[in-house]
Every structure is written in structure tokens, then in C-alpha cells.
Amino acid sequence: MANGLYVHSEIGPLKKVCLHRPGEELLNLTPDDLERLLFDDIPFLEVAQAEHDKFAELLREQGVEVLYIEKLVAEALDAAGSREEFTQQWLDESGLKGKEARAAVKEYMDSIKDTKAFVDKCIAGLRKNEIDLPVRSSSTLSELVGADQDGETDLLVDPMPNTYFTRDPFAVVGRGVNLNHMFSVTRNRETLLGKYVFRDHPEYKDAPLWYRRDSAFHTEGGDVLNINAHTLAIGISQRTQAAAIDALAQNMFWGDNAEKCEITDIYAFNIPVSRAFMHLDTVFTQIDVDKFTIHPGIMGTLQVFRLTKGAAEGEVKIEELNDTLEHILEKATGVDAIKLIKCGGGDPVAAAREQWNDGSNTLAVAPGKICVYQRNSVTNDVLYKEGLDLIVVPSAELSRGRGGPRCMSMPFEREDI
């Protein structure tokens, strides 16, 4: 484990995990910006932080080392002396218009001496009334409109309110990382954080990249499930393109770091393009050696593709499999009898309500021991009766972001099963 990363399953005992504690970025959410920033509601920050702190505490009680992405980025920038480079790239991706506005924002950001506070502010965003813009901060009509569209309470630089869903910007696979190109401009800015951690942090800078954020096609970590050391499941979804999986397979089987990649089989699940099926982990999540939680809407015959390394240089073999989820998972895991546990216990009303609050989106800290949202009481009762050991996370405010315990976490290290 030379680079500090080691993840060969979804259920091996969790040793190290990366989180982000919700911060002032949630205070920069306004009703008019919710859709653009991918939120349905405005969480109450104080309560969301308390709930997240409890989540982290529960993980530590299970012997898990909790890392925070904002701290890792600060450590990486300090270690490599790359804060100036990071700042310039953050400005490039900030949506700022006008040289004067950019210069004013850079001067403000440079005035934040503590690197951790600087990273926090990059995530939080800036309001126009926080900075004294020069009277002539724009020299073209487009710059003038962009800099002065709605008055002092408007945002100058958008926040990154989804950062507490650390699952999506990158995904640890084996000893390497998928550094993603995300579906939306809003969220793709978050991948900049991962770029500097996996390039500059002393503990993680040697990690091979199976995918890069400057790739042409979009993919997200919620679509990636580590079935075992040699098998990966990926969703073809609203957020992950089939072409991205093609590129990932090329990198894993034939790329510059192919000799370091242990993956031999990639199962690509073609799932419906809708909010309810946003990522593969909203459809099913592994919770034990032979058990998965599932969205009831995924029952029936699925179209799945198995990608393996071909014989000729650069060749990837693709086999189409049309079968039930149960049978596909039995084939992928090598387990004879997989049990699928429906969100909401099969009740259509409960399933719809609790799927909205990520009832199928659980985080395993060990086989059969899983973190669940408190509010999904029907699903939790079913899981308890199936013999699962539940670690219950308070979720009144965290759930407003539409992501569960798995969405809020990125494992860096798991023990083998």
C-alpha cells in the first residue's frame, strides 16, 4: 500500500475514509440558485454539521480513521508549494468575468494566509459584497452583465455545496483512482480538490490514475462499485457515459499503469436515465457477502455488458448479458445465492418515499454492518429483520442534499474479506 490507498470491495472492514464536513458553502445556497447548484432545498447548516459530526463519530467508534478532503488539499498545497497553481486553476473554473474582477478575487484569496481557511473559502464561494470591486471591473458588455446582474447579494463565485458527497468526484479502485470528469459544471469543480490530493499529497501522490478529469466523457464515483479485487461494476447512467467506461477500460487494461491495475472484469449496468436512478449506488448497494439493498424499480431483466481485456493490443472484448440483477450479481461475485432486499420492504409508497431519502444508499463498515439514515424507518426495519447490524445516522438535514451514507464517504482503505 505504497500510496495509502487499498480498496478491493464494498464491504471489507473499513479502515480509512474521506469525508467533507458541510461548511459555509451551504450558507451561499439561495432559492434562485438551487436548481443550478443541484439542490432541492436549503439545509440548516448548524444541524447538518451536528449530524455529520455524529456520522464521523460513529465511524471512529468502529475503528475507522476519518480524513477530511479540505484538510488533505491544504496539506497537499503546503507540501508541494502548489497553492498559486491551484488558485489560478480555481479562478479559471470559477465562472468569473473580467480581468479586474479576477484580480480582485485573487487578491482577496491571497490575503487568506492559513491554507486550510483558503481551501474552505474556495469551497464556500464568494458573494459580491465580500470584495471591493474596482469601479471599472469590466471592459466588455458580457463582462459587465456577468459582474453586475443582480446586485450586492448575488454570488460572485459559486459555492460547491455538494462537496459533502465525497463519493462522486473521484473513486478509489484497488490501489488507484478514477479522477472523474463530472456531469455538471457545478460539481466538476470539486474534482480539482482530488487532482491536487492525488498529485501533491505526500501520502497519496503516487496513486495511479485510471481516469482523468480532463477526459472528454463524464463519469461519477456513485456509479462505481468494487465487487472484488478483480471485478468492477459501473453504471451507464444519467451521470456516467458509456464512452467514459470505454476509456476507463482502455486505461485499466492497456494504459500506462495497466500493470498496476488488478481489474480483469468490468460489468457495465445500463440503468434508466432519471433522478431516481441517478447513480448505480441509488439502484443497489452491497451490504454483506451475499446481500444487496436495491431500488424495487430495477427488478426484471437488465442489459449489462461485461468488458474484459482482448488478445490484440488495445482490444477490449464486450459481452452483452441480459438477465436479472440477482443472476448478474451472482456471476460477478461468484456467490451462489444473492439476496436482494428492497427499499421500503416492497411497499410502493414507502419505497418511493425512502428512495427519495436514499434508503438503498448505505455504507458498509464491515460485512453485514452498515450505516443507514435514521429517517428510512421502513427499510431499516426490514434490514434489521434480515440480520444486518445497523449504525443509524441522524439525517433530517443531511438528506436534503439527496445523498446517503455511501454518497457522503469515499473509502481510502479497506481490509480484504
DSSP per residue, 215-274: SSS---GGGEEEEETTEEEEEESSSS-HHHHHHHHHHHHHSTTGGG----EEEEEE---S
In a domain, 338, yes or no: yes
Instruction: Give how many domains the chain has, as a whole number.
Output: 2
Range of the domain at 344: 14-71+161-414
Nearest to 350 by CA among 372, 381, 371: 381
User: Are residues 363 and 302 part of one domain?
Assistant: yes
Average pLDDT of the segment spanning 355-375: 87
Average pLDDT value for residue range 66-93? 98
Residue 290 shares a structural domain with residue 396: yes
Q: What is the total residue count of the chain?
A: 417
Better pLDDT: 378 or 112:
112
Query: What are the Cα distances from residue 53, in Å, to 22, 44, 59, 394?
Result: 10, 14, 10, 10
pLDDT confidence bin for 277, thresholds 50/70/90:
low
Instruction: Using pLDDT thresholds of 50, 70 and 90, give the confidence band for residue 149.
Output: very low
Mean pLDDT lowest among 136-140, 181-185, 293-297, 360-364: 136-140
Residue 334 has pLDDT above 80, yes or no: yes
Residue type, 139: S
Of all residues in the chain, what percent carry a pLDDT higher than 70? 93
Q: How confident is the model at residue 275 (pLDDT cuts 50, 70, 90)?
A: low
Same domain, 220 and 85: no
User: What is the predicted pLDDT for the residue at 343?
Assistant: 84
Domain annotation covers residue 302? yes
Give yes or no: residues 221 and 312 share one domain: yes
Instruction: Write down the pLDDT at residue 153.
Output: 45
User: Would residue 261 show up in a list of annotated catalytic residues for this protein?
Assistant: no
Residues 410 and 366 grouped into a single domain: yes
Same structural domain for residues 62 and 76? no
**Per-residue pLDDT band at 99 (split at 50, 70, 90):** confident
CATH number at residue 114: 1.10.3930.10
Q: Do both 44 and 91 map to the same domain?
A: no
Residue 139 lies in a domain: no
Instruction: Compute the mean pLDDT over every residue in the chain, rounded to the nearest whole number.
Output: 90
**CATH number, domain containing residue 327:** 3.75.10.10
Give the model's pLDDT for residue 137. 47
Query: What does the pLDDT read at residue 150?
Result: 47
201 pLDDT above the threshold of 60 = yes
Best CA proximity match to 14, nearest among 56, 64, 69, 52: 64
- Whole-prediction pTM value? 0.92
pLDDT at residue 312, as a whole number = 93
- Provide the grid cell at 289: 457477502
Q: Which of 172-186, 314-328, 348-362 is predicted least confidently?
A: 348-362
Query: Which comes out higher in pLDDT, residue 342 or 91?
Result: 91
In the set 18, 261, 371, 407, the catalytic residue is 407
